[in-house]
Amino acid sequence: MRILHIVNAMNERLRAWGESIRSLREIQGLTQTELAKNLKVNQSTVARWELGLMAPTDSMKERIAGALGSDARVIFQLRRSA
C-alpha cells in the first residue's frame, strides 16, 4: 500500500510539472518543437514532459526554466538547498 502511495505521489508531481511547462511554454508563445530546438532535445521529449510521462533531469530543469523565463524552483516546486 505504501509503494502505491509513493507511485501516485510521483505521478501527480510529474503531471504538475508537465502542466507548468506547457503553461509557461504557451505564455512564451513557443511550440513544443521550438522549445525542443532551444533545449537541443526532440519534440517528443517535450511532449513526454508535458504529459507527465517522463521527468527532466536536474540539469535540464534549469535549462527548461531559463528557456521559459522562469525559475526551476517555481516550475518544479523545488526546495532551496541549505
Report the amino acid identity of residue 31: T
Q: Give the pLDDT score at 78.
A: 58
What tens digit of pLDDT does each residue of 5-49 get?
787 888 899 999 999 999 999 999 999 999 999 999 999 999 999
Question: What are the extents of the domains in the chain?
Answer: 2-69
The 8-class DSSP code of residue 82 comes to -
pLDDT of residue 6: 82
Give me the amino acid identity at 61.
Answer: K
Q: What share of the chain is helix, strand, coil (3-state, %, to 5)?
A: 70, 0, 30
Would you state the CATH architecture of domain 2-69?
Orthogonal Bundle (1.10)
What are the pLDDT digits (tens) for 41-70?
Answer: 999 999 999 999 999 999 999 999 999 999
- Residues 49 and 68: their CA atoms lie apart, in Å, by 14
